[in-house]
Homo-oligomer: A and B are copies of this chain.
């Protein structure tokens, strides 16, 4: 059977070692990974199957992780992971969305098999794919086990990317640039919003002549006209008016690694006030970027941005950045560090962030952003689209 592995097995093993070291430090016998990016990180698994119960089990004294999922998806587990066949376990379809059967009982039996009834088990309490039901079912099925919140255990390890991961993210950045350029070429008065969105998707996925793209973790935020002040609005069928603001966030996704990119595009002639606001946005963004280097904290970078903004009498309500890497729906942002006041995460070479200082005022919004990898001396931009207001 084919094997779709995008990293050396040695890299998966190194990731596993780092996770097991952290498990040992926390006294965990078992780590139950419900988050698709963490499953992908440790095994390579990649199929759109995580909407039914699916778990990767790391046992401290078991050489490989164990993948557990739906029967029909075991084929993808064989094709996309480096796991031995007996570490791929599947529950029958009768467990899927059943009122009578819980796939978590099936998983609990495997936990007992590999670590006994009294294991100390880490679970991802705040994950997107660890529902209140999942936790209730597992704790019922394993009454003698001890459950510990290990939500971001793998997330903090994933925060620092390897050279191979950075290589893939450079490609993801190229995909994002190409999609943005496609929009800049496409958008004009009279074009339907849905046709612009369609062009984005087409470009994201068809990619370049050298390589294509994966599905993005989330749709583009294509916010036009009155909706340009609603950061996560849906597009419509309406034609673009003669004179309007387009706030667009999109991404490139390669082998599940996602790089994000946002720009504000003005169709027609921007007002002097709006041009001035966009210049402030870029100046502040650049001030934040210039503050990046290993050893600095996220909070310090945020401070540099806000200081630049404050010189113009402006404040921003929300955080200005988040890490990205392996992403699956619903979101590309890793849930660990934030570039915000009080976040004392120390930057290291290999961390990747989307610096996203959207200025959302009452009646206007400007969003000009930069994804970057922390380098040895500063930052490496992962997209090349110029940091400025686009005027069409």
Contact = CB atoms under 8 A, between A and B. Distances in A.
Contacts of A98: 338
Interface residues of A, number: 82
B51 A128 contact: yes
A243 interface: no
Interface stretch (A109-117, A195-203, A288-296, A373-381): A195-203
Copies in the complex: 2
Contacts of A12: none
Contacts of A97: 322, 333, 335, 338
A165 interface: no
A51 B198 contact: no
A317 B233 contact: no
Contacts of A164: none
A7 interface: no
A299 B351 CA distance: 52
A125 B134 CA distance: 8
Interface in A1-26: 1-2, 4
A130 interface: yes
Interface stretch (A221-229, A261-269, A277-285): A221-229
Given A133-B151, A198-B201, A330 B50 contact: yes
A233 B333 CA distance: 23
Interface string A119-131: 0000101111111
Interface string A31-67: 0000000000000001111110000000000000000
A51 to B, nearest CB: 4
A212 B193 contact: yes
A162 interface: no
A390 interface: no
Contacts of A1: 226
A125 B129 contact: no
A231 B93 CA distance: 13
Given A76-B230, A211-B237, A330-B51, A131 B128 contact: yes
Contact of A194 (B51, B195, B207, B338): B207
A55 to B, nearest CB: 13
A205 B202 CA distance: 10
A79 interface: yes
Contact of A231 (B72, B96, B149, B202): B72
Contact of A206 (B198, B230, B236): B198
A75 interface: yes
Given A131-B125, A330-B330, A215 B219 contact: yes
B317 A71 contact: yes
A94 B319 CA distance: 8
8 contacts: A4-B234, A48-B232, A71-B318, A125-B132, A194-B206, A201-B205, A215-B234, A329-B329
Going nearest first, the 7 A-B pairs with the smallest beta carbon separation are A194-B212, A132-B135, A201-B201, A198-B206, A93-B318, A215-B219, A51-B331
Interface of A: 1-2, 4, 46-51, 71-73, 75-76, 79-80, 92-94, 96-98, 123, 125-136, 149, 151, 192-195, 197-199, 201-207, 211-215, 218-219, 221, 226-227, 229-237, 317-319, 322, 329-331, 333, 335, 338, 340, 360
